[in-house]
């Protein structure tokens, strides 16, 4: 099931049949969808679940640490890329998306493993729900990678590698279930990273669009991305 979950990262393959002109027309819509997915995941999944099991001051501290770590990582990546190659054709937020999503998928793998240990039907149901909320986010993440400078084929490949961390989480979770207890500390940290990427990197890119009509369309897709994650949260409860 975690391997099937990994294949969701290839959902962006439909864009391979699109011309560059056609892809350029929808790329900011995909980025907007990713923003909604990141915000929805952080605010309606990661943070509430962490608050249920950890003191709120610790959750807030870990969110802050996540924001700071992702900020410093982005600055380090930006400096390294520009210093080494003399130009910055690829945005550092592309790497942050891959790191943050890899951590998110690893946690999903732990959850899938734990659910299968309870029962096979419960494991299948949990896996399907996780895939349902992953699909729009992975399509959005693909759009972010292409917008940030990756070719379509490289964006698919690296997004797929990032998604495969769910397999690692599933295997480790199955044989060392106690790891799931520590995964709760990763949730607010990942939430901080998602909030940083969406608010500091992606939303400013979306609002570079001068057309009011296109801005409103982008805002609509941010809301749609959030609603997908809210729906998934309601279904899991």
- Print pLDDT tens along the chain (237 aa): 888 888 877 776 766 666 767 777 777 888 888 888 888 888 988 888 889 889 999 999 999 998 998 888 777 765 444 444 444 455 667 778 788 778 878 877 887 887 787 677 767 866 776 776 576 667 777 877 888 888 888 888 888 888 888 899 888 888 876 666 676 787 888 888 889 888 887 888 788 778 888 889 989 999 988 888 787 667 666
Handedness of CA 55, 57, 59, 62 (dihedral sign): negative
Does residue 15 sit within a domain? no
Does residue 9 sit within a domain? no
Does residue 150 sit within a domain? yes
Does residue 77 sit within a domain? yes
Tell me how many domains the chain contains. Answer: 1
Does residue 78 sit within a domain? yes
Does residue 101 sit within a domain? yes
**Are the beta carbons of 186 and 107 closer than 8 angstroms?**
yes
Rounded distance between C-alpha atoms, residue 163 and residue 105, angstroms? 6
Does residue 12 sit within a domain? no
Does residue 8 sit within a domain? no
Rounded distance between C-alpha atoms, residue 225 and residue 136, angstroms? 7
Q: Which domain holds residue 48?
A: 30-236
């Amino acid at each position: 099931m975690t391997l099937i979950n990994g294949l969701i990262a290839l959902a962006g393959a439909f864009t391979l049949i699109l011309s560059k002109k056609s892809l350029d027309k929808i790329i900011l819509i995909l980025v907007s969808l990713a923003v909604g997915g990141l915000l929805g995941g952080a605010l309606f999944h990661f943070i509430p679940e962490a608050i249920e099991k950890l003191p709120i001051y610790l959750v807030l501290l870990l969110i802050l640490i996540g924001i700071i770590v992702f900020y410093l990582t982005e600055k380090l990546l930006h400096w390294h890329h520009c210093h080494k190659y003399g130009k910055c054709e690829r945005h550092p937020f592309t790497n942050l998306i891959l790191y943050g999503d890899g951590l998110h998928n690893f946690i999903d793998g732990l959850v899938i493993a734990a659910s299968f240990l309870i029962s096979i039907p419960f494991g299948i149901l949990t896996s399907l729900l996780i895939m349902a909320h992953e699909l729009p986010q992975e399509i959005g993440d693909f759009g972010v990678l292409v917008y940030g400078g990756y070719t379509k084929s490289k964006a698919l490949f690296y997004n797929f590698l990032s998604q495969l961390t769910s397999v690692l989480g599933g295997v480790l979770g199955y044989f060392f279930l106690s790891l799931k207890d520590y995964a709760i500390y990763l949730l607010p940290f990942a939430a901080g990273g998602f909030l940083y990427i969406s608010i500091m990197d992606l939303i400013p890119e979306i609002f570079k669009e001068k057309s009011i009509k296109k801005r409103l369309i982008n805002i609509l897709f941010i809301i749609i991305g959030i609603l997908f994650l809210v729906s998934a949260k309601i279904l899991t409860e």
